[in-house]
Amino acid sequence: MRILVIGAFGTIGRKLVPALVAKGHTVSVSSRNARKEIPWPELGCERYTLDLLSASSIPPALEGIDVIYYLMHGMSDGEQHSEREVRAAQNLVASIQQSTVKRIIYMGSLLSDTPQSEHMQARLATGKVLASSPIAVTELRAGIIIAPGSAAFEVMRDMVGNLPWVVTPNSIHTLAPPIALSNIVVYLTGFLDLPETQGKTYEATGPEWMSYRDMMERLAAHMGWRCRIVSTQHLPMSLATAVLGIVTSVPKSLAKALIEGLSERLQANPAPLQTLIPQTLVAYEDALSQLLEEETVEVYPKRWEDGVPAFRNFSHRHGFYSKCASQSITVPASAKSVWQVVNLLGGEHRYFYMDILWAMREWMDWCMGGNGRDHGRDDPTMLRVGERVDSWRILSVEQESLLVMKFGMKAPGGGGMQITIEPKSKQSCELNVELLWHPAGFMGLAYWYFYAPWHQLLLNGMTEKMSQLAMDIEQGQTP
Q: Rounded CA gap, 5 and 17, in Å?
A: 7
pLDDT higher at 264 or 142: 142
**Superfamily grouping for domain 309-474:** START domain (3.30.530.20)
Judged by DSSP in three states, 178 sits in coil
Q: Please check whether residue 231 is in contact with residue 170, taking contact to mean a CB–CB distance below 8 angstroms.
A: yes
pLDDT at 32 over 90: no
Question: Averaged over 41-66, what is the pLDDT?
Answer: 92
**Superfamily grouping for domain 2-294:** NAD(P)-binding Rossmann-like Domain (3.40.50.720)
| Mean pLDDT lowest among 125-139, 245-259, 357-371 | 245-259
| Mean pLDDT lowest among 12-21, 283-292, 397-406, 470-479 | 470-479
The per-residue pLDDT for range 274-303, each reduced to its tens digit, is: 999 999 999 999 999 988 888 877 777 888
Question: Averaged over 34-42, what is the pLDDT?
Answer: 85
Q: Please check whether residue 27 is in contact with residue 1, taking contact to mean a CB–CB distance below 8 angstroms.
A: no
Q: What is the mean pLDDT of the chain?
A: 89
Helix/strand/coil (H, E, C) string of 42-101? HHCCEEEECCCCCHHHCHHHHCCCCEEEECCCCHHHCCCHHHHHHHHHHHHHHHHCCCCC
Residue 384, amino acid: R
Q: Rounded CA gap, 184 and 107, in Å?
A: 10
pLDDT higher at 336 or 476: 336
H or E segment at 284? Answer: helix 284-294
Burial 182-212 (b: 16+ CB within 10 A, else e): bbbbbbbbbbbeeeebeebbbbbbbbeebeb
Query: By C-alpha distance, which of 370, 424, 422 is closest to 400?
Result: 422
Q: Considering Cα of 463, then 466, then 470, then 471, what sign does the dihedral take?
A: positive
Residues 55, 56, 61, 64: what is their CA dihedral angle, to the nearest 10 degrees?
A: 100
Question: Averaged over 325-347, what is the pLDDT?
Answer: 94
pLDDT value at residue 81 = 67
Q: Rounded CA gap, 137 and 115, in Å?
A: 21
CA 341-342-345 angle, to 5 degrees, is 100
Domain ranges of the chain: 2-294, 309-474
pLDDT value at residue 387 = 93
Say whether 309-474 and 2-294 share the same fold.
no
Output phi, psi for 316, to 5 deg: -70, -15
pTM equals 0.86
Instruction: Categorize the per-residue pLDDT at 74 as very low, low, confident or very high, splitting at 50, 70 and 90.
Output: low
Judged by DSSP in three states, 6 sits in strand
Question: Averaged over 192-208, what is the pLDDT?
Answer: 96
Query: By C-alpha distance, which of 182, 190, 175 is closest to 11?
Result: 182
pLDDT value at residue 184 = 98
Q: How far is CA 40 from CA 25, 295, 434, in A?
A: 15, 17, 25
